[in-house]
Amino acid sequence: MRARQIQADRYLKLGATGVYNNAATSAKVIEQVAQPDSESKQLLVQAAEKFNLSARAYHRVLKVARTLADLGGAQHIKKPHIAEALGYRIGFGT
Amino acid sequence: MVTRVQTVAFQGIQALPVDVQVQVANGMPAFNIVGLPDKAVGESKERVRSALTSSGLSLPPKRITINLAPADLPKEGSHYDLPIALGLMAAIGAIPGDSLGEYVVLGELALDGRISTVAGTLPAAISAQSRDLGLICPESCGPEAAWAGEELNIIAPVNLLALVNHLTGNQLCARPVAKRRDRNLAFPDLSEIKGQEGAKRALEVAAAGGHNFLMIGPPGAGKSMLAARLPSILPPLNPRELLDVSMVQSIAGELAGGQLSDSRPFRAPHHSASMAALIGGGLKVRPGEVSLAHNGVLFLDELPEFAPQVIDGLRQPLESGETVIARANHRVVYPSRVQLVAAMNPCKCGMAGSPGHTCKRGDRCASDYQARISGPFLDRIDIRIDVPAVTALDMIEPETLSQANMLQNG
C-alpha cells in the first residue's frame, strides 16, 4: 500500500491527471521519474542490443524498475532494479 | 399544442439530450413515433397504452404523434416508455405540464403501470445535473442516481400512479439514498499458497504498479489460484476511478440494485469469448469485458486458447487505455485502462520445461503453442514468470510472508 501511495503522490505533484500508478504513465513522464544511473544505463544498453528491445519495451522496463524502487522505498533507480525488471521481461525462452 | 419532455440517448458512457415532443391533434386516430426509433422504442406505444389503461387513463381517439428529437440520431433502448407516457398524460391534461420541463425522465413501463429498471441511470443523472434539471427514474435505479450529487432533485416512483400523485402534490415520494455495496472481505488470501515465492513476489510487483502480468507453467502449478488472489492485494478505487467504473457498469446494466462498490473490477472471461464480448460492440454497442474491467484486472486464463484475432484486438486498448468502436454513423469510445493478467501452459501437453520431461512432439510442442501469441502482444506484457510445479516439499514447508506483511510492505 505504501508503494501505491508513493506513486499517487508523485503523479499528483507532477500534475498528471487520471494517472495513479506507474503502469499508466506516459513515456515522457516515466523518463523523468525513472532516470537510470550510469551503471543501470550500461546494463540497459547491453540488454537492448542483445534482446532487440523496442522503444515501448524500454519504457515499460523503466516503469517496472520504478515500481521495484518504490517497493523498496528507494528514491533513485539502481542497477538491481533494472536487472530485476529486465529479468521479468525476458523471462521465458525467446 | 405540443408538450415536451426531456430524456437522454446513450452513446458510449455519454448521455446525449433527447427532446420528446408529443402532439395530440384532430384527425384519423393514430399513434406514431418518429425520430429513428429502433424496434424496442417502436413497441413502446403498446406498453404506454396498456400502462395508461391500467392506471385508469385512456387515450383519446385522436391523431397522436411523438417525435424524438434530434431526428437523425437513432434511438435505442427501452427507457423512452416513461417520457412518452408523461408527455401524453400532460397533453391530455392528466398532469400539470409546466413542471415537466424541469426533469430528465427515463424508465421502462410494465403493462400494469409499474416502472421497470433501465440501464444507464448514472450517466443520465450526471447529464441532468449538468443541465440543471432533476431526474425521474425507476425506483430500483434511485440509489444509483443519488450518487450523482446531493443537490440533484430525484423522483424514483414505483409506478405511474405514484408519479402522478407526486407531481400533483398529493403524495410525495421519498428521495432515494445512495447505497454502497460492502467490499467482499472474504477474498481468498495469498498466504494460502504454499511455495511459489518467486511468483508471489512478481504478483506483488504487478499489483503495486499495475503492470501486465503473464504466468507460464504446467497444469496444477497454481496459476489460476494466484490470479484469484490478486484482488485481495489491490487497493480500493479512489472516487474518480469509482465514478468511471460505475458509469460503464451502469450502461452495461450491471449495477445491481443501484449499489456502487469500491472494489476493483475483476473480469475473467472464458476463452470462447467473441471479439464483441471482449472488446465491445454488438447490437447496442455495449461495453466489452475490457471496458467492464476498467481500472481493474482482466484475467485471461488459457491465453493461447483465445481466438488470435481476439487477442490482437486487445492490443490497442492495452496501449491507449481506450476502446474505440466505430459504426457506420457514429463512433463510441469506452474507457478501458486495465491491468492484464494471463496464464498459459508452456506447450500443448503442458509439461515442457519440467525437469526430466520431454514432450512427445519434441521442441515443436512448446514453440508451436507459444507461437499462437503474437510478438506485439507479448511486447505489452511487462512481467513474465515461470510458475513451476509445486513439489511435495513445498507443501510441507511453512509459508513465509503472510497476507498482512505483504500488504504493509507494498
DSSP characters over A12-43: HHTT-TT--SGGGS-HHHHHHHT-B-HHHHHH
How far, CA to CA in Å, does B81 sit from each of B86, B88, B128, B325?
Answer: 9, 11, 18, 27
User: Which residues numbered 15-54 in A keep a CB inside 8 Å of some CB on B?
Assistant: 18, 20-24, 54
The predicted pLDDT at position B401 comes to 47
Biggest alpha carbon–alpha carbon distance for chain B: 89
A57 touching chain B per CB within 8 A: yes
- Bond before B304 cis per omega within 30 degrees: no
Nearest to A3 among B208, B346, B385 (CB): B208
B242–chain A Cβ distance below 8 A for any pair? no
Residue A55 CA: distances (Å) to CA of B20, B186, B189, B375, B376: 52, 41, 37, 14, 12
Which residues lie closer than 8 Å to B53 by C-beta, 6 or more apart?
none
Cβ contacts (< 8 Å) between B344 and chain A: which residues?
Answer: none
The residues in A 3-22 lying below 8 A from B, measured between CB atoms, are 3-4, 7-8, 18, 20-22
Quick one: closest CA in B to A27, which residue? Answer: B319
Q: What is the pLDDT of residue B106?
A: 93
Distance CA B127, CA B112 (A): 29
Per-residue pLDDT of chain B (410 residues; tens, 9 = 90+): 789 999 999 988 889 999 999 999 999 999 999 999 989 999 999 999 999 999 998 888 999 999 999 998 889 889 999 999 999 999 988 888 888 889 999 999 999 999 999 988 999 999 999 999 999 999 888 888 888 888 888 999 999 999 988 888 888 888 888 877 766 655 677 667 777 778 888 888 888 888 898 988 888 777 888 888 888 888 888 888 888 888 898 888 887 766 777 788 889 999 898 888 888 887 778 889 999 999 889 999 988 889 888 888 888 888 888 888 887 777 888 988 899 999 988 888 777 767 777 777 777 788 888 888 888 888 888 888 888 877 666 666 655 444 545 555 55
The pLDDT of residue A63? 84
Residue of A nearest to B217 (CA): A92
Provide the pLDDT confidence category of residue A92 given band limits of 50, 70 and 90. Answer: very low
Give the gap in angstroms from C-alpha B398 to the nearest C-alpha of chain A. 24
B76 CB-near residues (< 8 Å, 6+ apart): B9, B10, B38, B40, B41, B284
Q: Touching check for A89 and chain B: CB below 8 Å?
A: yes
Q: Where are the beta strands (DSSP E) in B26-100?
A: 30-34, 63-69
Task: With beta carbons under 8 A apart, name residues in chain B contacting A7.
Answer: 208-209
Closest C-alpha among B392, B295, B300 to residue B339? B295
Tell whether the torsion through CA atoms of A78, A79, A84 and A88 is positive or negative: positive
> Are A24 and B337 in contact (CB < 8 Å)?
yes
The cell numbers describing B407, all together, are: 500488504
- Answer yes or no: do B385 and A22 touch at CB < 8 A: no
The pLDDT of residue B107: 94
End-to-end CA distance of chain B: 66
- Residue A63 is nearest to which of B211, B214, B339, comparing CB atoms? B211
Position B135 scores a pLDDT of: 93
Q: What's CA B390's distance to the chain center, in Å?
A: 37
Distances (CA, A) of A20 to B202, B229, B263: 20, 21, 16
Nearest Cβ partner for A88 among B235, B379, B383: B383
Give me the pLDDT at residue A37, please. 79
Beta-strand pair B2-11/B14-25: antiparallel
Provide the shortest C-alpha distance from residue B189 to chain A (in Å).
16
- Determine the distance in angstroms separating the CA of B125 from the nearest CA of chain A, rounded to an integer: 22
Q: pTM of the prediction? A: 0.82
Confidence class for position A16, pLDDT limits 50, 70, 90: low
Interface A-B: count of C-beta contacts within 8 A: 87
DSSP state of B46: H
